[in-house]
Amino acid sequence: MASPTATECDARHLERALELAQRARGQTSPNPLVGAVIVKHGNPIGEGFHARAGEPHAERIALASCTEDPAGATMYVSLEPCCHEGRTPPCTAAIAAAGIARVVIASGDPTPKAAGRGLGILRDEGVEVDMLGGDIAAAARLINQPFLKHARTGRPLVIFKSAITLDGKVATSTGDSRWISGEASRARAHRWRAELDAVAVGRHTADVDDPLLTARLEGVARQPRRVVFDSEASLAVSSQLVATAAEAPVVLVCSRAAARPAIESLRNAGVEVIIAAGENEPARLLAALDQLGERGVQSLLVEGGPHLAGAFFDAGEIDEARIFVAPLIAGGRRAHSAIGGQGVERIAAAARALSTSIERIDDDVLISARLREW
């Protein structure tokens, strides 16, 4: 609920805090994106954002950048300030010590170490605290969907990505799919890989395409974990993924039915193997997501193929879909569609997007659909 003291001025400064926060997109995991602005007598006197895990938080950077004494000022911060000692000291202590009179926050932090505790500590120190609602609060939550889902469920946010023809095909009847989307669309997908914690494919895609699944862009600070869902642990040790396991982490998810020699061979080659238990494929997929979450994976880009995509949809674990539609028509009854699995029996049961956006990328059209919000 919005505070009765919230104003258009508050919203404007929080919008600036959100802009700052997003400068570090893809750099802060497992920490959230956070920006802060300090305002005194109506004028900004300091600002900052959290650049990466282990470095100072946005609030402390904003305080350090102040051009005048921040005592009596208002701090605008996109996420509830931390109040626990971690790799960096608590921000609530720095805020109180600086004499900040008021803190305006766009989004709460649902993690057990926070969840309103920081707000209570600030109030106990005599700091006025307001939580803004409305559009700015929704925008603050959206930039931190991976962090919020992981905090609430322990699982990564799952984004499904695909490139399809106008008639909804991802490959011809022979399996040929290179290239449906254009070069600019493929570059966008590489940027997503760089921003997210992990990228996943199924065994068939790994065998047929022999992909690297790395983010091949200039200036990439880190490579995503590369995850292969392969129930039999049959990924070839000679594959590009295994061959580059020392350069970028590779995780293979298999079932308990996988042969022990195959598992040990992959482990000896530097692949981390997760054995997912469960009575059926959706149950094993959920168990795998739990284990990936335990390893700090907060965001997962599912790139294919149709079988894996169908398993995620059947398990109800797709949070967002990003579909490139190319100006091509493949035709053919045996051509492959984007999503396999069981699907739904009636249109009324189909997953409906909460929000959508459409963007033109050269000759392609990118349709993004948010299916769940956290």
What are the residue numbers of the active site? 59
Q: What strands, in cross-sheet order, belong to the sheet with 225-229? A: 272-275, 250-254, 225-229, 198-202, 299-304, 157-164, 320-325, 364-370, 355-361
**What's the rounded Cα separation, in Å, for the pair 347 and 89?**
51
Question: Strands (DSSP E) along the chain, which ranges?
Answer: 35-40, 43-49, 74-77, 102-105, 128-131, 157-164, 169-171, 198-202, 225-229, 250-254, 272-275, 299-304, 320-325, 336-337, 355-361, 364-370
| Coarse DSSP helix, strand, coil percentages of the chain, rounded to the nearest 5 percent | 30, 20, 45
The secondary element (H helix, E strand) that includes residue 141 is helix 134-142
How is residue 110 annotated by DSSP?
Answer: -
How is residue 70 annotated by DSSP?
Answer: -
Q: In one letter, which amino acid is 97?
A: A
Contact 190, 217 (CB under 8 A): yes
- Which of these, 241, 239, 318, lies nearest to 285 by C-alpha position? 318
**What's the rounded Cα separation, in Å, for the pair 158 and 319?**
5
Q: In one letter, which amino acid is 16?
A: R
Check whether the bond before 306 is cis (ω within 30° of 0): no
The Cβ-side half-sphere exposure at 64, using a 13 Å CA radius, reads 10
Task: Report in angstroms the alpha-carbon separations of 6 from 45, 103, 128, 134.
Answer: 20, 11, 12, 11
